[in-house]
Structure 1
Amino acid sequence: METSTLLVNASYVDPAIFELRPDYRALLLTVDGLVPGASNDASEALLHRAEASARLALQEQKVEALPHVAAWRAAYQDFGAKPNRTRNSLEALLRRGATGLPRVNRLTDIYNAISVLYQIPLGGEDLSKYSGPPRLMRATGEEPFDTTANGEAVVEYPEPGEVIWCDDDGVTCRRWNWRQGRRTQLRDETSSALFILDALDPVSTEALKAAAEELATHLTGLGPDITISDHLINKATLT
């Protein structure tokens, strides 16, 4: 726990991100002691809640018109991404949620469900695969991104100015919260995880914390010796 907490407490959001979106907040949650396991009744029930929530949200408006989704589409446009081509993770899940969210394993199922229920982008990473602390910054274009294309492992590079999460070895997630890399992705054997909860207005900091609290509540059931810590980053933490 101590190593994970120190790593995440050293996480960093570059001031250029707050110049782009002063309303941005990130809540990082570290979880140690996870016991891997397949989807179960508890994760299935949570997914059903999330799917019902998605259907309700989309009854009267299209997904791109939802205020929380629209905020991220605007943010993508601000750094040059095309939101119709590269959908943020929240929008992608909501589009699937109305007809059925994926079933992966209980860890992934839980964080996908919380993302939909609170309408926030939420990424899960294997913290043991990190090299140095997580950082959110605008790319130079030289940071390597370990991913797949047509079923083959490839290394790509972000566009200069693109918003990326990265560590000392390269990109961990491109376009803020669009696509995670292979190196740090959650695996069936993951026992130490990092969750990144993203917020833009109109999501309040209180709502962001509530999402993290419910996520933590569900994660505590995934092992007898779970330890959890959190770290909030906003514009005020830079001063």
Structure 2
Amino acid sequence: MEKEMDALEHIEKLMREAKEYNERRMVVLAGEREKSYSIFLSFLSDFDGKVALLSSIEMNIDGVDCFHLKDSGKLLGTTYDILILDVYYSLQPSDIGKLYGIVRGGGLIFLITPEIEKWKNMINRYHQRILTPPYKEEDIRRNFVSWFVEKLKKHDGIAIIENGIIVKSGIYKSKREYRKKPILPDRRIFDDIVYNVALTQDQVDFLKILEEFIDDYNTPTAVVLKANRGRGKSST
């Protein structure tokens, strides 16, 4: 119980740090799956925000949006404060790349995994699914998980807690960057209240371009806005 309290306090510290720098932090909960669930559920008991859980097993947790890992593509374009990826039984390389971006700045990403060193040599469900004759399980090289584990150990902002014990702190004092106040155009058609909501210069520039596209403000007009994730399309 004492170890779990230490782990919870550490996760709360990581959350504060993430919010301070408006960055994400990752927490790897390795070891016994039930213990890992106990830790993050205890953390969520006092948490007020949007939480998503993806697992290879059907789950149902109050206050948490639960999905199967095979449906991970459905979450693209959504935004959450906390993402929990239960990859204990299966890790598909594309899942990490697709999903980390759904967590807003200041949020946490949890990974539920077996014990780190044992995980490197385990056969998971993804391996079994892609295995084709005449190859057998002993032919699987298991390179990706080994490479992934080394990256988790190496990079900043990633904590590793194994069976309740803090193996790697993940504390990282990032460089604080201050957002410049956008410059509004001298001549504008939209009300100031619209421009004042814009947080970035890109958003202001788009609003100005949008004014030039619309000929008749009484006629519905369709505009397609394309940009990389995180540039503020939805808020614009």
* TM-score of the aligned structures, taking structure 2 as reference length: 0.27
Q: Whose radius of gyration is greater, 1 or 2?
A: 2
The structure richer in strand per residue is 1
Greater relative contact order (CA < 8 Å, ≥ 6 in sequence): 1
TM-score, normalized by length of structure 1?
0.27
